[in-house]
Amino acid sequence: MNGAAINYSEIVFRLFAAVLIGCIVGLDRNLHGKPTGMKTMGLVALGACLATLASMDFVTWRGGYSTDAVSRAIQGVITGIGFLGAGVIVHDRNTEHVRGLTTAASIWVTAALGIVCGIGTWQIAAIAMGMVLLLFLIGRPLERILHKKWLSKSNEERDDIAKNDE
């Protein structure tokens, strides 16, 4: 195979895989009423995949592209996506509550998944996607259980302190 050969079916597959993964991540955000959804996350993953593929000159076989160029593209995507993620983080000064951190992290990991699709490392993409889905599935219920336990311990400690002060 020479350096000018472009396997369009492989490129299309990588692009569709990135969009699909982005949409799956976005579906969770959408179902939880967050400001990003399937379209946004699909576009983030697609853009990251396109930037990665472009840095590889759309060559889909190993050794046919400059790893330095790919590295610079990945750095640029990760840096740029940080600004997009920062835009969804909101700090309420009245309540000192911060919202949007999970959505921002979802945007960031979706870009990383798009990069992995662009490179074509499917096993890593599948493992990472599975981990994201696992976090989305068990993360919220586990956080609630732990939060309740911590709050009940804090309340018990306060009650003990109050009894000792009497």
Tokens encoding 18:
């990135």
For 120-145, how does the pLDDT look when each residue is reduced to its tens digit (9 = 90+)?
A: 899 999 999 999 999 989 988 888 88
Q: Which residues contact 42 (CB under 8 A, 6 or more apart)?
A: 19, 20, 22, 23, 26
The structure's pTM equals: 0.77
- Please choose, from the candidates 15, 96, 114, 27, the residue with its C-alpha nearest in 3D space to the C-alpha of residue 58: 15
For 43-66, how does the pLDDT look when each residue is reduced to its tens digit (9 = 90+)?
A: 999 999 999 998 888 877 777 788
